[in-house]
Chains A and B, each alone.
Chain A
Amino acid sequence: MLQFSKYKITLILAVLLLGLYTALPNLFSAAHIASLPSWLPARTVSLGLDLQGGSHLLYEVDTEALVKGRLEAVEDEIRSAMRDKKLGYTDLGVKGDRITFKLRDLSAIDTARAALATTTTGLQLDIADDGGVSVYFSEAALTEVKKHAVEQSIEIISKRIDQTGTKEPTIIRQGEDRIVVQVPGFGDPQRLKELIGKTAKMEFKMVDETAESTGNGPATSVQLPVIEKDGSPGQKLWIRKPVMVSGENLTDAQQGFDGGMPIVQFKFDSVGARKFGDATKANVGKRFAIVLDNQIISAPVIRDAILGGSGVISGNFTTESARDLSILLRAGALPAPLTVLEERTVGADLGADSIEAGKRACLIAVVFIAVAMILLYGLFGVFANIAMLLNAVLMLGFLSAIGATLTFPGIAGMVLTLGMAVDANVLILERVREEMRNGRSPVNAMEAGYREAQATIFDANVTHAISTMFLFAFGSGPIKGFAITLLIGIVSSVFTAVVVTRLMTSIWLRQARPKALPL
């Protein structure tokens, strides 16, 4: 039991050295690591957002709104297609997940089917014998639309965040229609949320001057609020529904100044430039509105036709809001609105405080345990303490090597592991004492102690590992961090507390050849 073959010793030392090697970078600052030779490992334990500060945001892509928007667009197309073919209909509208209407003339079903074929490409078209028509997305198409919307949203969110110069954001899809955004160390979480969450659908539309003067608008116009400098909605204007040009045709947007006032300069692509040119030429002297997410940024009077394809928005901007708007316009509009389901933002100094508190608790726990172990078990307590330190090194090394994230609860897991890990040594040493009382020789007692305690240690740790694994499987964020630390701790502590202390003990027994164990 206490005999170690050369291979075994080499293997044990190799594991310990590997742990030391991978844990090493954690001792140095990032700048220091960069200056070290490349054969040294550079990976450190990455700190969770709760320790380094940052925002964790869980978004849901509002796919219902997306589908509704798509259907409404198709509804308009159906209306004009029916009008072109002079087909009568009633009750046209979007109801739930489909467009429904009724044909007046039942003999025109085939003509209607042909007329609607192109406008409803990619959609299911059902015409019942009684003239009831419904147009909807098939199950497969719906999944595809949603998937595409989530992918597109992720792309646009990353463009937006990249533009702010923030380093290393994590943007990943979760489940069918969710997106997790993790941004370390962003100064102003409110601004971050505004940047990510704005749909940023930009449209150029005409102001309905007749409705403005009468105060009463037709069905083809809507009242939209003008956005104030502080972001709140203000006075309302009647706006015609048809879109002159939309943000999709923008190729660039930059924040600038005009007479000391912050403005946003934009450029259209060729299609956009032509549309904008035509529309402005036809409406000189009238007002048009620049509408962002159904709010009016500004509603200037068209003095001349704007033919160059570029223009300037001078709304109620601050320098920052103008800069953010130009970022949003450059990155493009989100395909569907986003809702924040969950937010966890931690300031950098709370994170630093947590690290401080965690370190302090860890250190004090180590001192408590180390002193107690020496008082209780003397020399063997020292061995157990060395094992405890090696365990900490191994945990750190392993966490670094697999790129795991250390969270605040993870630190708690480390502290807890320290206390529970010495349990293996306590079990062994108490057993050794018992064997000594039974009159065994030092070597015999040691051997029996390790042998008898082993199965118990194994069982105890496996049951502990089981509950931790489920914690890992079902936990979220920081709790996962806690579980992974605990799990690594359980494995490495069995190794250090059982194998490593046994090696130390056997070497000591061979060197000292004691007549009685100091236990």
Chain B
Amino acid sequence: MFKPIHLVPAGTRINFMRPHKIAFIISVIMILGSFALVFTKGLNFGIDFAGGVIMEVKSSTPVADLASMRSELDNLELGEIALQEFGAPDIVLIRIPQQEGGEVATQAAVAKVKESLGSDWQYRRTESVGPKVGDELKSSAVWASIFAMLGIMAYIWFRYEWQFGINAVLALFHDCVTTVGFFALTGLEFNLTTVAAVLTIAGYSVNDTVVIYDRIRYDLRRYKKMPLSQLINQALNETLARTTVTSGLTLLSVLALAIWGGEAMRGFSIAMIWGILIGTYSTICVASPMLLYMNIRNIGSDKGKTAEVEAQA
């Protein structure tokens, strides 16, 4: 058989630690920027959270006439109706905002739009969410995120020393916050699927961090005298091949989803692409160098353990 390609050559000595302060600054700016964007510009909430109606309709003509459709629907006075070509020129996504008068008015709005458009259209999808369910979905999404973070934190705490636990969760927080910030910046729709994407990113991000932390811990036991900075850098280089290949392959499968998975999957896939990139970045440039500032030298060395025992006694 042929000789397999080594994507990353053995024994790389890239100095990941040197620019770590710049990376910290960039990350802090990104996190603060994300918060600022979310609070000023806000998120483009989809109907799952904001309530309202979306209808995906298909025209009987090869190209939908958005202009005449818009003027027709504007006559209904249902608030700001947004029209958007959706994946194909004959398919239109209609968004109707939350109606005053709650659930009943929302249902009435759906009926009005259908009546106004008439029978030239095929209704591919109708989704309506009333204010009550919107609020509930919002709170359950928040709870899911909080519990997922706490759960991950608990596990890392249990499995690693606390220094690693804190760092892993900080990195996780970094990834989730900047992903939400990314949605605020781009104005991509933020809906239930996005929350699923954010939590999947959380899983992926921790996954990535854990792999490198495992290596750092392993090296801590092997090279007891090596300076910490050099040791972390070595661990990063040793796992670089794996990091590149795994990120690359996951990115490939998400790209397939983004390009060929249909219009409805696009938001999710774009979030995932961002998440994989940011997750890899944060593991290498944030989570690992941050260990420098935690006292981890004693961890794993038997000497350290005995010293601790003595100190307690």
> Residues of A with Cβ closer than 8 Å to B?
58, 60, 189-190, 193, 339-347, 349-350, 353-354, 357-358, 360-362, 364-365, 368-369, 372-373, 375-379, 381, 408-409, 411-412, 415-416, 418-420, 422-423, 426-427, 430, 433-434, 437, 452, 455-456, 459-471, 473-476, 478-479, 482-483, 486, 518-519
Task: Count A/B pairs, Cβ under 8 Å.
Answer: 241
Q: Are B144 and A364 in touch, CB under 8 angstroms?
A: no
> Residues of B with Cβ closer than 8 Å to A?
1-7, 10-11, 56, 103-104, 106-107, 110-111, 114, 122-130, 132-133, 137, 140-141, 143-145, 147-148, 151-152, 155-156, 159, 192-193, 195-196, 199-200, 202-204, 206-208, 210-211, 214-215, 218, 238-239, 241-242, 245-246, 248-257, 259-262, 264-265, 268-269, 272
B68 to chain A, nearest CB (A): 23
What are 6 contact pairs spanning A and B, CB under 8 A?
A: A358-B262, A368-B249, A420-B207, A426-B242, A434-B238, A460-B207
The answer, among A339, A347, A378, A459, for a CB contact under 8 Å with B159, is A459
Contacts of B245 in A (CB 8 A): 372, 376, 426, 430
Contacts of B254 in A (CB 8 A): 415-416, 419
Contacts of A358 in B (CB 8 A): 261-262
Contacts of A415 in B (CB 8 A): 253-254, 256-257, 261
Q: Are A433 and B125 in touch, CB under 8 angstroms?
A: no
Contacts of A423 in B (CB 8 A): 207, 242, 246, 249-250
Known interface pairs A463-B156, A466-B148. Does A350 touch B4 (Cβ–Cβ under 8 Å)?
A: no
The answer, among A193, A343, A379, A467, for a CB contact under 8 Å with B152, is A467
B140 to chain A, nearest CB (A): 5
User: Which of B106, B130, B239, B261 has most chain A Cβ within 10 Å?
Assistant: B261
Bound form: Cα–Cα A381–B145 in Å: 36
Q: Are A467 and B148 in touch, CB under 8 angstroms?
A: yes
Bound form: Cα–Cα A420–B123 in Å: 36
Known interface pairs A347-B124, A361-B261, A459-B159. Does A467 touch B133 (Cβ–Cβ under 8 Å)?
A: no
Contacts of A465 in B (CB 8 A): 203
B17 to chain A, nearest CB (A): 21
The answer, among A339, A470, A476, A518, for a CB contact under 8 Å with B104, is A339
Contacts of A467 in B (CB 8 A): 148, 151-152, 199-200, 202-203, 206
Q: Are B262 and A354 in touch, CB under 8 angstroms?
A: yes
Bound form: Cα–Cα A90–B268 in Å: 63
Bound form: Cα–Cα A411–B196 in Å: 13
Known interface pairs A358-B262, A418-B253. Does A376 touch B4 (Cβ–Cβ under 8 Å)?
A: yes
Contacts of B207 in A (CB 8 A): 420, 423, 460-461, 463-464
Contacts of A419 in B (CB 8 A): 249-254
